[in-house]
Amino acid sequence: MEQTKIKFNNKLLNLRITRSHECAYLQNREEQRLAADISEVPQLHDQLAESGFRRVENWVYKPVCIDCNSCIPIRVDAQNFVLSKSLKRILRKNNHLQMSFDNKDADEEAFNLFKTYLKSRHNDGQMATMSQFDFHSMIHNSPIDTFLIKYRDEDNDLVACLLMDNQRDGLSAVYSFFDPRLEQQSLGTFLIIDAIKLTKSYLKKWLYLGYLVKNSQKMAYKARFKPYELYVDGHWIEKD
C-alpha cells in the first residue's frame, strides 16, 4: 500500500491507499480506499467520521476510487426524523422484539446468525469467509465506544444484531445482520428505525449510515430515512 503522513487535528496520522479490488456495489468497477490505523489516536475518530470516513475495527477508511465518486456519506437527522406510513407498518411488525444491551459478546449464537445472514445476502462478498475469530475482532476490536445490540423474539431466539459506534454528534450504524428467513418483517429497515430512535434518546442529532452509492440498488434504501444530509465536496448538504 502507498503511504503518506499528514497532520490531522495536530496529530500525526499515517494514511494508506489500499490496493484496488472488485467493487462490492457496482459492476465492472474497482475499489480503492484511503485508510488509517487510529489505535494510537482514537480521539481523531469523531472528526474523521464527520469528514466522511467509516470505521472497521481499529481502522477508518473512505473510498478514493479512480474516475468514480459514487459513494457519498449519508447521515440522518434523527431529531427531525418523521416516520412514513410504510415505516410505521414495519415498526408495528417488530414491536414484539426485545432489545438487549446486557450481553454484548460476539458469542457463537451471534456468529451463527451472522454466517446465516451472509450466506443468504452476501455469499460472494469479502466477509463471506470470516471466521469466528474475525467476527469477534469486528465486534470487539474498537478503540472507541462501540456496542452491540441484540434483538430476540418471544421464544428468546436471537433474530437480529446491530453494531453501533457512539461519537460526539451522533451514533453510527457500523453493521447489522438478521435472520433472512424473516423477510416479511423487514428487519433491515426496522434496525435503522430503531437506531434513529436510539440516537434521539441519546439526545444526539445524527445517525451515520455509511455510504449512499449512486446506481446501486443495494444502498438505495438509505434514502428512505428523511431528512438526511450528504457529504459532498467537503461539506454536509441537507436533503429532505
Give the mean model confidence (pLDDT) for residues 110-118: 95
Q: What is the mean pLDDT of the chain?
A: 91
Does the structure show a pLDDT above 70 at 11? no
Confidence band of 122 (pLDDT split at 50, 70, 90): low
Prediction pTM value: 0.91
Region of residue 138 (phi > 0: left; psi between -120 and 50: alpha; otherwise: beta): alpha
Model confidence over 134-185: pLDDT tens digits? 999 999 999 999 999 999 999 999 999 999 999 999 999 999 999 999 999 9
Cα separation, 177 vs 168, in Å, equals 25
User: What are the domain boundaries of the chain?
Assistant: 2-71, 74-239
**Which residues, in sequence order, are bridge partners of residue 158?**
152
Q: Got the DSSP string for 47-106?
A: HHHTTT-EEETTEEEEE--TT---EEEEEEEGGG----HHHHHHHHHTTT-EEE-S----
**Residues facing 49 on adjacent strands:** none
Answer CATH for 74-239 from 3.50.50.60, 3.40.630.30, 3.20.20.70, 3.40.50.2000: 3.40.630.30
pLDDT recorded at residue 8: 56
Question: How far is the C-alpha of 116 from the C-alpha of 109, rounded, in Å?
Answer: 11
pLDDT above 50 (res 1): no
Percent of the chain with pLDDT over 90: 76
Q: Which residues pair with 203 in a beta bridge?
A: none
Q: What is the 3-state secondary structure (H, E, C) of 79-90?
A: HHCCCCHHHHHH
pLDDT classification of 116: cutoffs 50, 70, 90: very high
